[in-house]
């Protein structure tokens, strides 16, 4: 039940802001974010089971992120790994629209997904459970396990918190403060879940999974928020990529709770 929030050209000081939680089974083998040996321009975590990733950036300013569509009880035999959709774009030189046009013929081979990809100039979105790929307007957006900007409680709350954090940081050009605020919102689980679900027209008793989807940070036995990633790109093209690990199995094995990477985008 992942969540992706992003601000694209919503702030002159920070043209791109990303905040993302990856929710997964704790036991699924994963490598934390770093530059890939087989693709040195790619900075991303890695799913060691299928080889792809859920979110990443490149030195050239490309970025991509993925969430799954919530489809309880739907069987998908012989489906391809959705993580390759993200890594494929990061390794590719095609424009976002061209990349998604090439994907269209095979998108039915994947389980339900939301894919957001971008460069410094444009952002595109596609889901294989909705219409054709489209460019995304400037602004603050969010997607969880329904379609882009569907008003699920945590998406609505997350978009508001991201917009507030960006506005506050822009006044002082305070990137560290913005990163702290992004991680605070990604750790958010302290709000009236029942009231939020009622406002969204979701019956939490009829759909127990809805209670999980209502919280930005998920913590349940065996499954939950494994990592939280905050990415900030400032007006000078300086990128700060901060990942915090919350997977209890990884932390118990000695993983550092946070890693930070900095780079400057190629002109």
Does the pLDDT of residue 79 top 80, yes or no? yes
Share of the chain above pLDDT 70, in %: 90
Helix (H, G, I), strand (E, B) or coil at 198: helix
197 in Cβ contact with 153 (< 8 Å)? yes
Give me the mean pLDDT over the 44-48 stretch: 97
For 3-264, CATH gives 3.60.60
Confidence of residue 132 (pLDDT cuts 50, 70, 90): very high
Please provide the distance, in angstroms rounded to a whole number, between the alpha carbons at the two ends of the chain: 36
This prediction has a pTM of 0.93
- Determine the distance from the C-alpha atom of residue 114 to the mean position of all C-alpha atoms in its chain, rounded to a whole number: 10
Give me the mean pLDDT over the 215-241 stretch: 93
Q: Strands 223-233 and 258-264: what pairing?
A: unpaired
Does the pLDDT of residue 1 top 70, yes or no? no
How high is the pLDDT of residue 205?
Answer: 62
Give me the mean pLDDT over the 213-241 stretch: 91
For 177-207, write each residue's pLDDT tens digit: 999 999 999 999 866 556 665 665 666 566 6
Sequence spans of domains, the chain = 3-264
Give me the mean pLDDT over the 221-232 stretch: 94
How high is the pLDDT of residue 62?
Answer: 98
Please give the angle made by the CA atoms of 136, 214 and 71, to the nearest 5 degrees: 70
Helix (H) or strand (E) holding 100, with range, is helix 96-103
The residues with which 160 forms a beta bridge, in sequence order, are: none
């Amino acid at each position: 039940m992942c969540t992706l929030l992003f601000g694209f050209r919503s702030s002159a000081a920070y043209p791109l802001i990303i905040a993302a939680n990856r929710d997964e089974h704790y036991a699924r083998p994963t490598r934390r974010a770093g530059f890939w040996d087989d693709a040195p321009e790619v900075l991303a975590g890695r799913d060691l089971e299928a080889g792809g990733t859920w979110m990443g950036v490149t030195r050239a300013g490309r970025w991509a992120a993925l969430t799954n569509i919530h489809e309880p009880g739907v069987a998908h035999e012989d489906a391809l790994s959705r993580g390759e959709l993200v890594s494929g774009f990061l390794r590719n030189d095609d424009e976002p629209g061209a990349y998604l046009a090439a994907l269209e013929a095979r998108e039915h081979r994947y389980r339900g997904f939301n894919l957001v990809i971008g460069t410094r100039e444009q952002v595109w979105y596609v889901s294989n459970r909705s219409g054709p790929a489209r460019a995304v307007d400037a602004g603050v957006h969010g997607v969880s396990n329904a379609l882009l900007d569907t008003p699920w409680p945590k998406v609505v709350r997350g978009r508001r918190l991201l917009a507030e954090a960006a506005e506050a940081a822009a006044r002082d050009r305070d990137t560290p403060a913005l990163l702290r605020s992004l991680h605070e919102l990604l750790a958010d689980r302290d709000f009236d879940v029942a009231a939020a679900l009622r406002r969204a027209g979701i019956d939490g008793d009829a759909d127990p999974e809805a209670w999980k989807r209502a919280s930005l940070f998920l913590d349940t036995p065996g499954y939950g928020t494994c990592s939280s990633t905050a990415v900030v790109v400032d007006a000078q093209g300086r990128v700060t990529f901060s990942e915090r690990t919350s997977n209890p199995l990884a932390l118990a094995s000695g993983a550092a709770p946070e890693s930070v990477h900095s780079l400057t985008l190629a002109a």
